[in-house]
Structure 1
Amino acid sequence: MSEYGEFETGEQHESLDQLHEVDANESNYDSQFGVYEQDHASAESTSFDQGHHVSYSDPTTGVQYEESDFTSYDHSAAETDHVFAAEGSESASSSEFHELEALQARFDAAFAEGTFASN
């Protein structure tokens, strides 16, 4: 009778490491400005004159009569307007984002295997 055999034992180790990292940022800026301006000017001038004159003379009697009426009116006006307005808005925003994911797994196995044959 003859015997032979084969026998094997061992260990197996495996691991998995995974790292995932994200860095992000965002910035926004907005500005709006407006300037409004308006000018207005006006001028007025009025002049009113009125007159009345009567003159009478009689050469025979030597009588002399004279009458005078006079009216004068002057008006001047000036007006200026100036309007100035300004408005504006400004905004800014900023955001940051950081993410870190880590995965680690370890696999351990042990085995034994054998083959025997006998004659």
Structure 2
Amino acid sequence: MRTRLPDTAPWAAWSNFTFTAQTGHVREVDLLVVSPSGVYLIELKDWRGKLTWQNGSWVQAKPGGGRRFHRSPVHLVNQKSKELASLLGRPPQISACRKMFGGWHFRCGGAVCSR
């Protein structure tokens, strides 16, 4: 990530840190990026293969065959964003993918998310 982000203000990034929400829950953040357009909390996954959406779960079709079901991390990332924004004293302005597979495509490691 370091090589892909500009090395000038206001760009900044922090990875692999925890914070304690006002509820007492300890939250882990994979990557937090500050850019001219906003602050982004990013959940990183090292999944390979193709991801699809089925009955509220992400389904990973593995390159060697077989399937694995994952809970969607969208709800938890949304919650973490709100809790972190609360600690920082700012109202959250979350523009993350509310429609996870509504025409959005992502590359996560070697995985391709599609509808």
TM-score of the pair, normalised by structure 2: 0.16
Larger Rg: 1 or 2? 1
Of structures 1 and 2, the one with the larger relative CO (CA 8 A, separation 6+) is 1
Bigger helix share = 2
Between Structure 1 and Structure 2, the one with more strand by share is 1
